[in-house]
Amino acid sequence: MKINKRILKSIKTLPPFPVTIQKVMTLAGDPDSSLTELAAVIRLDQAITANILRICNSAYFGLRRPVDNVNDAIMHMGKKNVLRAVVAAGLTRYFRSTKGYDVKGGDLWEHAVAVALMSQICAARISRPDDPRLFTAGVLHDIGKMVMGEFVHEAWQKIQELTESQKYSFLEAEEEVIGVNHAELGGEIALIWKFPDEILKAIAFHHRPDLLADGDAVPWIVYLSNQVCHVMGIGVGTDALAYRAVGDVAGRFGLKQRDLEDMMAQLHKSLQDARELVSIVSAPGKKGRG
Amino acid sequence: MADLVVGISDLKVSSNPADSMITYALGSCIAVAVYDPAAKVGGLLHYMLPDSTLDAAKAKDTPGMFADTGIPLLFKSCYKMGADKKRMIVKVAGGASILDESNFFRIGQKNIMAMRKLFWNNNVLIDAEDTGKNVNRTVRLDMSTGKVYVKRAGGQPEEL
């Protein structure tokens, strides 16, 4: 893959990955770490602490009583959910409106959360353990768009010509015109941010899991979840439904069309429960899609 | 002018000419807009799935989620406000799909078929339609005129 210098330079303008999340990811993965340690790390970052309390009180996490401090939140949620809430709280800063895809920051965030939620619904459906990598990969899968946006904007006319014929997917048009697609670019960002290899792969191949040789299910689950969210029109922009189905994801996971429909119905409920989580990055005046 | 936003799996009806109903970013989902020009009663539905036998509890709780529960409820809600089936103008948009030769993700096509079957069985003619393809659509129903506008992602609103 050849990324031109302007794009590489643009990647470097992204704010660095929050140290707090790095630490929490490490601690949450360490069976010997204590909840007190976790709380201590989180409390050091005020912005994340404020967001995390809002997120924890979302119906999605099912707390019986509202919490007003990090210690209580962690006590009641358990490590896995703390990790989810911290990842969400720390990443909102990257979700800005982007030209090119013509989508608001709040919509991109809603899409990211929807894919993360759908990944969990999908994992449950195919009887896989609740893998914390899925949530992180789901939220971050489109991070490349934050950098790609201005290049898509510049090349908009050419991209539109290619996709309107329906012979090119948006991804293929990005590759043809810009030389790299937003998924690969997301992989580059994940590399700079020193993400574990499995998460990097899930981001970089979220439209093309068929190109990966190994059999890890995570990229396929993220792919499936993302396709469904595009089909449903959740937080998507000009690229909307201009994506291609690849491989046999139905056969791979033993899913029928009806499973897919049921998962869509479940996502509708999950998104309602996660309203507070979604509204952390606000998209004024725009609700409801499909 | 009040903008009534119709969310996913939701429907709204009105007899207020000052209202305008809007539903955003339809992918595979379908918007059904109905309007009785004499009674000036109209409604907008945004359904997501073709068939309520998928989940009886969800269909009862959220009838707007499915074609076969949402569409009848849309018509009945308009009748209650004085609309007459014979006069009702029906316009539909949505049911898009991604590029998919395997057809696994073609929920949009199933949504279109479910709607056509339902209308056919109930002797309802579709007056205008913008369905299929791989585009996102936003639909607006203007209650003072009954006109329906469809805006495709990246484009301008056009009357349907």
- For residue B110, list chain A residues with Cβ-Cβ distance below 8 A: 257
Residue A288 has pLDDT above 70, yes or no: no
Q: Determine the average pLDDT of the residues in A50-57.
A: 81
Choice between A36 and A153, residue whose per-residue pLDDT is larger: A153
User: So what's the pLDDT on residue A48?
Assistant: 81
Q: Which structure tokens are listed for B28? A: 């595979």
Do A205 and A183 contact (CB within 8 A), yes or no? yes
| Calpha distance A75→A82 (Å, rounded) | 9
Residue A232 has pLDDT above 70, yes or no: yes
Instruction: Scan for tokens 């800005």, then name that residue.
Output: A96
Asked if A169 lies within 8 A of B46 by C-beta distance, the reply is no
Comparing CB atoms, the residue among A102, A257, A288 nearest residue B10 is: A288
User: So what's the pLDDT on residue A2?
Assistant: 61
Residue A130 has pLDDT above 80, yes or no: no
CA-CA-CA-CA dihedral for A116, A119, A120, A125, to nearest 10: 160
Highest mean pLDDT among A43-57, A119-133, A270-284, B87-101: B87-101
Asked if A258 lies within 8 A of B28 by C-beta distance, the reply is no
Residue A186 has pLDDT above 80, yes or no: yes
Cα-based angle B66, B71, B75 (whole degrees, multiple of 5): 155
User: So what's the pLDDT on residue A147?
Assistant: 92
Calculate the average pLDDT of chain A.
87
Comparing CB atoms, the residue among B27, B54, B134 nearest residue A290 is: B27
Residue A42 has pLDDT above 90, yes or no: no
In three-state secondary structure terms, A287 is: coil
Q: Determine the average pLDDT of the residues in A72-83.
A: 82
Do A232 and A290 contact (CB within 8 A), yes or no? yes
pLDDT one-digit tens code per residue, B48-101:
999 999 999 999 999 999 999 999 999 999 999 999 999 999 999 999 999 988
Do A114 and A271 contact (CB within 8 A), yes or no? yes
The residue in chain A having the minimum alpha-carbon distance to the alpha carbon of residue B24 is A289
Kindly state whether A171 is in contact with chain B, defined as any CB-CB distance less than 8 angstroms.
Answer: no
Residues 6+ apart with CB under 8 A from B137: B25, B26, B31, B93, B94, B96, B130, B150, B151, B152, B153
User: What is the least distance, in Å, from the CA of A166 to any CA of chain B?
Assistant: 8
Give the confidence band of A139 by pLDDT, cuts at 50, 70, 90.
very high
In the chain, the amino acid numbered B130 is D
Choice between B151 and A89, residue whose per-residue pLDDT is larger: B151
| Calpha distance A156→A163 (Å, rounded) | 10
| Calpha distance A159→B40 (Å, rounded) | 43
Kindly state whether A249 is in contact with chain B, defined as any CB-CB distance less than 8 angstroms.
Answer: yes
Comparing CB atoms, the residue among A240, A243, A250 nearest residue B136 is: A240
In three-state secondary structure terms, A56 is: helix
Calculate the average pLDDT of chain B.
95
Q: Determine the average pLDDT of the residues in A208-228.
A: 92
Asked if A265 lies within 8 A of B49 by C-beta distance, the reply is yes
User: What is the least distance, in Å, from the CA of A270 to any CA of chain B?
Assistant: 13
Residue A286 has pLDDT above 60, yes or no: no
The residue in chain A having the minimum alpha-carbon distance to the alpha carbon of residue B47 is A290
Residues of B annotated as catalytic are 29
DSSP H helices, A35-91, are 35-43, 46-56, 70-91
Could you tell me how far CA B145 lies from the centroid of its own chain?
17
User: So what's the pLDDT on residue A287?
Assistant: 43
| Calpha distance A117→A134 (Å, rounded) | 9
In three-state secondary structure terms, A154 is: helix
User: What is the least distance, in Å, from the CA of B136 to any CA of chain A?
Assistant: 6
Kindly state whether A159 is in contact with chain B, defined as any CB-CB distance less than 8 angstroms.
Answer: no
User: So what's the pLDDT on residue A113?
Assistant: 93
In the chain, the amino acid numbered A58 is S
pLDDT one-digit tens code per residue, A234-284:
988 888 899 999 989 999 999 999 999 999 999 999 998 888 778 777 644
Give the confidence band of A1 by pLDDT, cuts at 50, 70, 90.
low
Residue B1 has pLDDT above 80, yes or no: no
User: What's the number of CA atoms in the CB half-sphere (13 Å) around residue B114?
Assistant: 27
Q: Which structure tokens are listed for A7? A: 């794009």
User: So what's the pLDDT on residue B50?
Assistant: 97
In three-state secondary structure terms, B13 is: strand
ipTM of the modeled complex = 0.92
Asked if A227 lies within 8 A of B135 by C-beta distance, the reply is no
pLDDT one-digit tens code per residue, A86-116:
888 888 888 888 888 888 888 899 999 999 9
Q: CB neighbours (10 Å) of residue A171?
A: 20
> CB burial class (10 A; 0-12, 13-18, 19+) of residue A175?
middle
Residue A43 has pLDDT above 80, yes or no: yes
| Calpha distance A226→A142 (Å, rounded) | 10
User: So what's the pLDDT on residue B112?
Assistant: 97
In three-state secondary structure terms, B49 is: strand
Q: Determine the average pLDDT of the residues in B12-33.
A: 95
In three-state secondary structure terms, A86 is: helix
- pTM of structure: 0.92
pLDDT one-digit tens code per residue, A82-91:
888 888 888 8
| Calpha distance A49→A236 (Å, rounded) | 29
